[in-house]
Structure formats: C-alpha cells, structure tokens
Structure 1
C-alpha cells in the first residue's frame, strides 16, 4: 500500500502544481489587463491636460487681444471727455 500512497501523493502534488500555475497565469493576465487599463487612463488624462493647457492659452490670447483693444480706446475716450467738458 505504500506504493499506492506514494502515487496518490505524486498525483496530489501534480494537481496542486497545475492549480497554482493556472492561478498565477490568471493573476498575471488580470494584472496585465489592469496595467494596460491604467496606462490608457494616464494617456487619456495627459491628452485632456494638453487640451486644457491649449484652451487656457487660447483664452489668455483672447483676453490679451480684448485687453489690448480697449486700452488704446480707453485713453482716447478719456482724452475726448476733457475736450467735451472744455467745449461746454
């Protein structure tokens, strides 16, 4: 019966080894999927940040143009006001 017990032990060890290998492969596959997902999300966030930076720069440019246009006209208006006041 010792030979039979040894055979069962070998089969049990082989089954356990196969089970552990399968489990490790599943875990590796899941970690790989999660890793790819995280990298994809990071790339997406990077693209969104780039878009936000571009939008901010565009807004700054628009504000600079708008801010630049009224500034020359504002002194012109202030110059005109004293002339109007002097004329009346």
Structure 2
C-alpha cells in the first residue's frame, strides 16, 4: 500500500514574494497587503485541495474495506446462532 503522506508539499516549498517589506506610502502598503492576502489564499487553497484529496482517498479505502468484509462474510457462509 502506497503512503500518500510523502506527496504533500511543505509550506517551505512555496515561494514567498513580498512586495515591499517596509512600505513607504499608502500605495506600497496596499500592494504589500494585496500580495500577502494572495499568498495566504494560495496556501489555504493548496491545503484545502490536499485535505479534500485525503478525504476522497479515505472514502475509497473505506469502500474497499466494506467490500472486503462483505466478501469474507459471504465466503464464511451463514453461521448458526446458538440458543
């Protein structure tokens, strides 16, 4: 079984580009905040996509487990209940 934890990117891999670290006027401050918000949105979107992918994978695994349990129960045949 493959371990999908290795395909998750670390936040350190994401590029960090800041407009101006020390804004001098309102325009630079606006640009700085805009870029910062865009970066946050991109990171949240990446994390959201990763979470959804893991949930989908978990759903598939649960479906497989249910199918395997059903197959095992069918192979075992009907059990007599003791009274």
Where structure 1 has 5 or more consecutive residues not aligned to the other structure, the ranges are 1-10, 69-88
**Structure 1 residue runs of 4+, over 6 Å off?**
none
Q: By percentage of residues, which structure has more helix?
A: 1
Aligned length: 57
Q: Cα distance, 1:36 vs. partner? A: 0.5
Relative contact order (alpha carbons < 8 A, sep ≥ 6): 1 or 2 greater?
Answer: 2
CA–CA separation in structure 2 for the residues paired with 1:54 and 1:36: 27
Alignment of 1:36 with 2:53, yes or no, is: no
Larger radius of gyration: 1
Q: Cα distance, 1:21 vs. partner? A: 0.1
CA–CA separation in structure 2 for the residues paired with 1:64 and 1:42: 33
TM-score by structure 1 length?
Answer: 0.60
Q: What is the match of residue 47 of structure 1?
A: 60
Where structure 2 has 5 or more consecutive residues not aligned to the other structure, the ranges are 1-23
Q: Cα distance, 1:47 vs. partner? A: 0.2
